Amino acid sequence: MEIEYLLCLFANDKDEPFRWASADLEAVRKEYQPARMRERCGDRFRSSEYSIHCQIGGHPRFAAGYVLPEHVQIGPLSDAVIFAIGWVDLAQHLVRVWRWVEEILQTYDLLDVGLAKSSLARAKESINQWLREDQCASLLTESEALLLEQVSPDDSVTH
């Protein structure tokens, strides 16, 4: 998710890539931590989504069992459902990343460089088809995400 935040900053300020590339460690810690980048991007990202991802991928919890399934007991959701949720989540993030890439190409007037324009058109066509045809393509609502977070009632959320 951090790459989405960084792409957002790049798309909204042409000086940002240089600031990022030339920042010392102190500046990186101050300006490029996930919470700070989300803040700088305005209301484009939900902190709760980042928190859920941290709980699943960054901290050992029951809800993250699908990451290392051989180390956990069988949970209330089937392996197929958990696997599908992971793929849909990945696809949703890739759509957002590609949209930031599109905005950057436009902002920096790079649409005529190499295959940018034709690649962008093909990606947009694929994304639009997925959004039209797959019922799982739309982003989870805040309440749906919170419901998924509560996979196990015995696993308290500390974030």
Domain region containing 5: 1-44
Tell me, yes or no, whether 22 and 39 share the same domain.
yes
User: Is 11 within 8 Å of 104 (Cβ atoms)?
Assistant: yes
Domain total in the chain: 2
Report the run of H or E that residue 131 belongs to, with start and end.
helix 116-133
Which residue type, as a one-letter code, is found at position 56? I
Tell me, yes or no, whether 38 and 55 share the same domain.
no
**Rounded Cα distance, 108 and 103, in Å:** 8
Tell me, yes or no, whether 101 and 128 share the same domain.
yes
Q: Which of 11, 29, 44 is the last residue of a domain?
A: 44
Span 76-132, pLDDT tens digits: 667 677 777 778 888 888 888 988 999 998 999 988 888 888 888 898 899 889 888
Span 12-53, pLDDT tens digits: 999 999 999 999 999 998 999 988 999 999 988 887 777 777
Q: Which of 71, 66, 86, 99 is nearest to 136 (CA)?
A: 86
Tell me, yes or no, whether 58 and 27 share the same domain.
no
The set of residues, in sequence order, having a beta carbon less than 8 Å from that of 142 and lying 6+ positions away, is: 46, 48
Tell me, yes or no, whether 106 and 56 share the same domain.
yes
Q: Which of 44, 62, 77 is the last residue of a domain?
A: 44
pTM for this one?
A: 0.59
Residue 101 corresponds to which tokens in the numbers above? 């890439």
